[in-house]
Structure formats: structure tokens, C-alpha cells
Amino acid sequence: MNALQHWNRCPEFIDIGDGNGSVRLRKRDDFYAIRGTIAKQLSADVVMRLTGDDVSILRGTPPADAAPAFELLPVYAAARDATPAVATGRIFLRLEEDMSIDTVRDDIEALDFRIDEVPLHAPHCAWLEPKSERIDEALSKLDRLRALPLTAHVEPQLLRPRSWKGRP
């Protein structure tokens, strides 16, 4: 399977948050994102750059002939006019406070994720990445991660444009 096929397999919806405070994001069929350098033939389609993350959001769908050369990332939003969010494939997992990520390490690995980072100040949390490095696989397993024992929260990493709040 090529990068375009993986991009097409990303879930249409992803849920962010837990319980009553959750938000359902829908995959935008009119945008896609690329990590890294943009080819000249695509530069006219760039609508936004997330410079700190080297990600560009482009209008349209990825061209089939360009897909193997780029890391394609899906773009999600809560509504058509809402700020776009780019899924990276990284997943944040938080267990109940008194638990260690090591207690579910085998379960995480059985779901084909690897633990990328455990914050020193929060040993009950971890950033996960799919062993396959495929975003579609990571996003399609969110519910299975949520079902792990003692899980408090699961959320995909979403990159959004920076916004600066005015000072009072």
C-alpha cells in the first residue's frame, strides 16, 4: 500500500475528550497535510503552514503521483468552518494517577504501539507511536487504547495553527 492509500484509510471521525466533554472531529475531504518540503507544483495549494512542526495544509486531495514522496497527514475539524487540526499519528495515553505506564506496556505493545516518551513528572502518562509508523493504524485503534485497564484518557496529537490571545 502506498502513502495515498494509507491516507484514504484514516477514519472519517475521531473523538477527542471523554464523556460529556467529548468533541467529534470529521476528516476534511477538501484538505490534506504534508510534513516536510513542498514541491513547487503543490505550493499554490498551500493554505496554511505550521512552521514549528514543518507541516503544510493544502487544499484538495493529495495527487496520486506525489503521494510516495511525502508524509501525508489527515486534516480534521469539528465543523466545515472550524480551525483545521492535523493528526500526526502520535497518541497520548493517561492512566489513573496511581498507575505506572509499565503496568500496561504489554497491552500497548500487543496493539502494535511503542512507548515513545514517558514524561518524568507524569509516570502514568505516555506518548505512543504505531510500530508500523502508519497514521491510519494509530487513529483506528483509539477505542482499543481507551479500553485498556485503568485508562483515564486517550487522545491523538493534533497540530493546529498558533493563536495569540490579546492581553487585557
Element (H or E) spanning 106, and its range? helix 105-110
For residue range 36-72, list pLDDT tens digits in order: 888 788 888 999 999 888 899 999 988 777 555 678 9
Is residue 76 within 8 Å of residue 11, measured between CB atoms? no
List the domain boundaries for the chain: 3-82, 89-159
Is residue 11 within 8 Å of residue 140, measured between CB atoms? yes
Which is higher by pLDDT, 20 or 134?
Answer: 134
What's the CATH code, domain 89-159?
3.30.70.260
Is residue 39 within 8 Å of residue 102, measured between CB atoms? no
Q: CA nearest 104: which of 137, 131, 144, 136?
A: 144
Predicted TM-score (pTM) above 0.85: yes
